[in-house]
Amino acid sequence: MPEARCSIVGIGKTDWVADWHAVRQGQACCDQYGYAAIALRNALADSGLERRDIDGLIVGQATAYERTAEVLGIDPRWGDQSDAPTALLKAIAAIESGMAETVALVYGNNQRSNKVQYGGPQAMGGDLFLAYVYHTPWGLTSQGALYALTANAYMHASGMKDKDLGLVAVSQRKWASLNPEAILGKPIDIDAYLAAPYICEPLRLFDYCMVNDGGVALIVTSAGRAKRMAKPAVHVTGFGRYDLNQGSTSLEPRLTDFYRDAQKLAGEASFSMANVSHGDIDVFSVYDSFSMHVVLALEGYGYCQAGDAAKFLREQGIGPGGRLPTNTSGGHLSDSYMQGWGHYVECVRQLRGQAGARQIMGAQHAHYTSDIAGKTVSIVMTADKA
């Protein structure tokens, strides 16, 4: 097995389906801190560790670090706040530098019950994302609008058709139909996809992620400690990051090379560190707030040639029985929108052999990726004793 940099020894989440129905009935169980606390409780139970064993804490974007630590009853000797893709990298850095040995990564979000807006004049994060600020006078205030621009540019450059893009949503819904914990598990076909209304052309309803409440937690520790634990761990064996900031205000990285340069470099770094090739990857996990993320990732990380994603989707496939099982829980489009945190849970389940009807038999390596606003992260995870 490739050398483990650190290991994931516990996963936990809230009951997203129950959370979804409770919110729809106006009976949300808790706020974002409550969701985070439930997820951590479940992750600790999964790992067999106690709260006192946690000496590091990373919290997600929707909760304040200090308040989260207080609610969770943790006084870490090291801590931070982060989004999902960089949270695991920060945990590894803290552990390898000796600043912590066992880090809890905790995310809670009440985005649906709190009526959070990701578009419009009051779009959350408008003060943080340049596109929100500089393009507001033209009404371009949502990530959906930005990815619609990207989709239009890509389709013009590559010849991809609407029905090709639709294969992403259809494939992920097929995975979700095998996942009893997915919020949207009813299968759809390409006709249903094409019949759905545009939200921002060419993106239709099924190209968008849902917005739901919930929480996720991971327990990450040193490879040495993981070896001393009773349960098999999932090891982080490779990672890479590369950012594209030049031209970001004009959206240039999204509209010309579609993040390929950054994805290529981050992917090569993670594969080299993990000593794997594309043929070794059993599960591909892509941050997918919109279906276009998957299209761009297939090309940027080298699973197919530039401009050939549509052909790959048609002929190779990413759904059940396909060449490259992708977002096997259903992803953000069908399982749950946990801003990338839930993808870690699915990777760990697949590599532990705990994914039920959607299990990829003999899964040894998972590739987790994210390309939010040009901040590209690539992580390779490996099953215990792979």
pLDDT in tens, 327-340: 999 999 999 999 99
pLDDT of residue 252: 83
CA–CA gap between residue 321 and residue 71 (Å, rounded):
44
Q: Kindly indicate the confidence band of residue 123, based on its pLDDT and cuts at 50, 70 and 90.
A: low
Residue 146 lies in a domain: no
For the segment 273-299, the average pLDDT, to the nearest whole number, is 97
Q: How is residue 180 written in tokens?
A: 């009893």
Q: Copy the structure tokens of residue 47.
A: 């790992």
Distance CA 302, CA 263 (A): 9
Residue 250 has pLDDT above 80, yes or no: no
Largest CA distance in the chain: 57
Confirm whether 35 is domain-assigned.
yes
- Distance, in Å, from the CA atom of 198 to the CA atom of 201, rounded to the nearest integer, reads 5
Residue 171 lies in a domain: no
More confident residue, 190 or 119: 190
Distances (CA, A) of 142 to 215, 247, 259: 24, 18, 19
Residue 187, domain member (yes or no): no
Distances in whole angstroms, Cα of residue 81 to Cα of each of 58, 65, 106, 153, 384: 5, 6, 9, 34, 28
Asked if pLDDT for residue 369 goes beyond 60, the answer is yes
1-48: pLDDT as tens digits = 778 889 999 999 999 999 999 999 999 999 999 999 999 999 999 999
Q: What pLDDT shows up at residue 375?
A: 87
Q: Is residue 20 part of a domain?
A: yes
The confidence score (pLDDT) of residue 220 equals 98
Residue 206: closest CA among 215, 194, 217 = 194
pLDDT at residue number 121: 61
Which contiguous run of DSSP H or E holds residue 162? Answer: helix 162-177
Confirm whether 243 is domain-assigned: yes
Structure confidence at residue 135 as a pLDDT band (50, 70, 90): confident
* Average confidence (pLDDT) over 374-383: 94
| 149 lies in some domain | no
Cβ 232 vs Cβ 384: under 8 Å: yes
Mean pLDDT of 140-146: 83
The reported pTM is 0.96
| Neighbouring-strand partners of residue 242 | 376
Q: Does 126 fall in a domain?
A: no
Residue range(s) defining the domain that contains residue 229:
6-115+210-383
Using one digit for the tens of pLDDT, what is the confidence trace for 163-197? 999 999 999 999 999 999 999 999 999 999 999 99
The type of residue at 262 is A
- Residue 102 is given by DSSP the state E
Q: Into how many domains does the chain fold? A: 1
pLDDT (0 to 100) of residue 53: 96
**pLDDT score for 141:** 76
CATH code assigned at 85: 3.40.47.10
